[in-house]
Chains A and B, each alone.
Chain A
Amino acid sequence: DGGITQSPKYLFRKEGQNVTLSCEQNLNHDAMYWYRQDPGQGLRLIYYSQIVNDFQKGDIAEGYSVSREKKESFPLTVTSAQKNPTAFYLCASGTGDHGTEAFFGQGTRLTVV
């Protein structure tokens, strides 16, 4: 069953902690993306990767880090430097071609407690 899987679905973080969100895809896609969703603001790009062992900052990368050691995996770490991490995080993958759509995971809702 092909797709993109995010885990966990819900995550609670204490102030000052780092947390890592998992994103795995078995679609053989080269490109992977992390977006943050806040109410009324649409989706904003955090990081993206077009190929293994390479990634680029998106529009709101401060306080986040990523790695791309395997084609199928693109974990996102929300560090303690991220001042307002409570949000819904969406991972996506795609071929990178202009005419093809991206596929999204089901999201992780992160809450700071």
Chain B
Amino acid sequence: AQSVAQPEDQVNVAEGNPLTVKCTYSVSGNPYLFWYVQYPNRGLQFLLKYITGDNLVKGSYGFEAEFNKSQTSFHLKKPSALVSDSALYFCAVRDDGNTGKLIFGQGTTLQVKP
């Protein structure tokens, strides 16, 4: 069965420092991977996705993610964190059936301190 794990409940980083939010996945076929961000009491906003091709994917707001097939990981990164990046981040994998369902990790709270 498809699954996604985000091993850290919270990540703390100082403003201006690089950040990494970790995600590992388990799929039976080709992975279709997504990152979303959620601000308090709001819906999820799409950040970026990996479908195929280059292992480094660039997305919105300066975020990028590195796909690593051998480690089954899809970590979210940003070279220089902003206080406004503080939010809840979700990694997701597309279900391998034809339903289009997304399977989400538990979420990681990113706290960026000034």
Encoded as 1 (CB less than 8 Å from any A CB) or 0, chain B from 30 to 61 comes to: 00101010000111111001010000000000
Question: Once the chains bind, are B43 and A96 in contact (CB under 8 Å)?
Answer: no
Question: Once the chains bind, are A42 and B49 in contact (CB under 8 Å)?
Answer: no
Complex Cα distance, B104 from A40, in Å, reads 12
Contacts of B45 in A (CB 8 A): 104
Given contacts A40-B9, A42-B105, contact A56 B43 (CB under 8 A): no
Complex Cα distance, B38 from A107, in Å, reads 11
Main SS of the interface on chain B? loop
Question: Once the chains bind, are A48 and B41 in contact (CB under 8 Å)?
Answer: no
| Most-contacted residue by chain A among B101, B104, B106, B107 (CB, 10 A) | B101
21 inter-chain pairs at a CB distance below 8 angstroms, sorted by A residue, are A31-B99, A33-B101, A40-B9, A41-B106, A45-B101, A48-B99, A48-B101, A56-B99, A92-B44, A92-B102, A96-B100, A98-B51, A98-B94, A99-B51, A101-B49, A102-B46, A104-B36, A104-B44, A106-B42, A107-B42, A107-B43
Give chain A's interface residues, CB within 8 Å of chain B. Answer: 6, 31, 33, 35, 40-43, 45, 48, 50, 56, 58, 88, 90, 92, 94-99, 101-107, 109
